[in-house]
Structure 1
Amino acid sequence: MTLKLRSIGTSDRGLIRSGNQDALHAGTWLVAVADGMGGMAAGDLASAIAIDAVAPLDAETPEDALVAALQRGIQVATTRIRQAVTEDPQRQGMGTTLTALLFARTGSCLALAHIGDSRAYLFREGVLKQITRDDTFVQMLVDQGMITPEEASSHPRRAVVTQALQGDEVSPTYATMVPWAGDRWLLCSDGLSNVVGPETLAEVLAQHPDRAECARRLIDLALRAGGPDNVTVIIADVLDED
């Protein structure tokens, strides 16, 4: 049995923002979402830099080289963002989240890299699990037992990230997992996860086997909830194509 990753991604400006500072890559071996931050055009530049830096990883990679490849991609992104800020000091403070999943050429392993508050969810055998942990102020409060996860979802400071790619040295989270045939991955910016709850996400992932239809439905739900932010969605299915 040889497992393959099949993905589709889509992004929407939302109903409030004047531009879209999200960027994505939905490929054969790599899927990634970046959500930019910073004034003027700096946020969309930062997210584009991050995706451009990791996009070359969309190639056949041995199992034992997955995490190192993602680390290199993030290092390239960090260097390029630092250069962009040096070139124009008005870009100071720009940055981006990055959540990326790299599938091994054998199909027997995948690696995940994460920084910021874009998310990766795994829908396996009818159960949705959030795999990434938000690098945010409110997640820190949840971890310390000061607020509940329910309170975090409506906290006024829920958009404050504690880590992002901004040109400085950072400590992204890396993990490796064994994929199963039938797994469905959802990668998204907080424009989706802040307004559509996990129960609804699970419902949609279960009810729409067609990836493009599933992604479109999730975007529509975010827009119906007010679309206060840019919304980016990637649906990636692990398939047995033998």
Structure 2
Amino acid sequence: MNRTAEDDIGTHMRVAIRYAAGSDVGRARENNEDSAYAGPWLLAVADGMGGHVGGEIASSLAIQALSAIDHEVPQAKLVEVVERAVLAANQAIAQKVEDEPALQSMGTTCTAMLWSGTHTALAHIGDSRAYMLREGILYQITEDHTLEKMLTGEDGAAPHLANRLVRVLDGRPERKPDLSLREALPGDRYLLCSDGLSGPVDAETMHQVLTAESDPAAAVGQLINAANQGGGPDNITAIVVDVVAEGIEAAAPVIVGAAER
């Protein structure tokens, strides 16, 4: 589903984000442990882990905590607000584990963008990813928090370590996200996704879909189909967002995956 949010920038420019979100169980899993949220100011993907119930709960708790900041925030406060929301998500997981010790192995990745005008704050922990398409070039703007990356600094150097996460939201107090403030330009396109997409779908295919398909919802559908055609080994979740020069009336947020239920 397409959604749009409008924001005034200065006295002469108006920009908006137009977006779509989708999630699919894939071809190898019985249930969907991914969750995602797309609203007028907030976009977030969470990939849960910890078994049939735990993963669903962890990703849903993260999205619930993050959704509370889907409102207008001064640009100077963007990073602070999104960081506080991610830490609140981690605390919610800690509280759930305390209440239900059987869930102690659960956790979730989290990749979120909070928007204000021409800027967005990016918070990231785990191996879900954010990409930016600008002037025809696709950039990965997050770094995977995997053992492979920590030991080698290069993706693909040690395949058996690729999915060994070293940083996630699991209720432990030292869990901190990577944080950055980025300037967004009209014409930019962003992709937030779980590793169920970035694993089986290579960057060339992502680039092809994101450049060829102008409609965000259609792009999300094609990316999910590509992941399933690649075997669908995991749950697949994606948000595609366009930065446009003219605003359209904002609509209700979209929640997909485990948090939707």
TM-score, length basis structure 2 = 0.87
- 83, 89, 96: which one aligns with 1:77: 89
Matches within 5 A, 1:115-134: 115-134=125-144
Instruction: Give the aligned partner of residue 246 of structure 2.
Output: 241
Distance 1:110 1:212 in 2: 21
CA distance in 2, matches of 1:38, 1:12: 18
Secondary structure in 1 matching 2:207? helix
Aligned residues: 234
Residue in structure 2 matched with residue 30 of structure 1 by the alignment: 42
Distance 2:118 2:47 in 1: 29
Residue 103 (structure 2) pairs with residue 99 (structure 1): no
Asked if 1:168 corresponds to 2:180, the answer is: no
Shift of 1:13: 0.1
How large is the Cα RMSD of the aligned pairs? 1.1
Matches within 5 A, 1:11-160: 11-104=23-116, 107-143=117-153, 148-152=154-158, 155-160=159-164
Which of 194, 198, 202 does residue 193 from structure 1 map onto?
A: 198
Q: Which runs of 5+ in 2 are unaligned?
A: 1-12, 248-261
Post-superposition shift, 1:6?
1.5
Q: C-alpha displacement at 1:31, in angstroms? A: 0.5
Cα distance in 2, alignment partners of residues 173 and 15 from structure 1? 31
Structure 1 residue runs of 5 or longer lacking an equivalent are none
Structure number having the greater strand percentage: 2
Report the alpha carbon displacement of residue 7 of structure 1 after superposing the two structures with TM.
1.2
Offset of residue 76 of structure 1: 1.4
C-alpha deviation, 1:40, in angstroms: 3.2
- Could you tell me which residue of structure 1 aligns to residue 229 of structure 2? 224
Conserved? CA contact 1:7–1:31, under 8 Å: no
Counterparts of 2:83 and 2:107, CA distance in 1: 17
Q: Secondary structure at the match of 1:2?
A: strand
Question: 8 Å contact 2:156–2:162 — kept in the other structure?
Answer: no
Question: In 2, distance between residues paired with 1:222 and 1:40?
Answer: 21
After superposition, the C-alpha distances for 1:166-208 in whole angstroms (9 at most, x for unaligned) are: 0112121000011100100000000000111111101100000
String of CA shifts for 1:211-239, please: whole Å, max 9, x gaps: 11100000000000000000000001111
Report SS of the residue matched to 1:40: helix
Shift of the alpha carbon at 1:142? 2.6
4+ runs deviating over 6 angstroms = none
**AA partner of residue 113 (structure 1):** A
Q: Percent identity?
A: 44
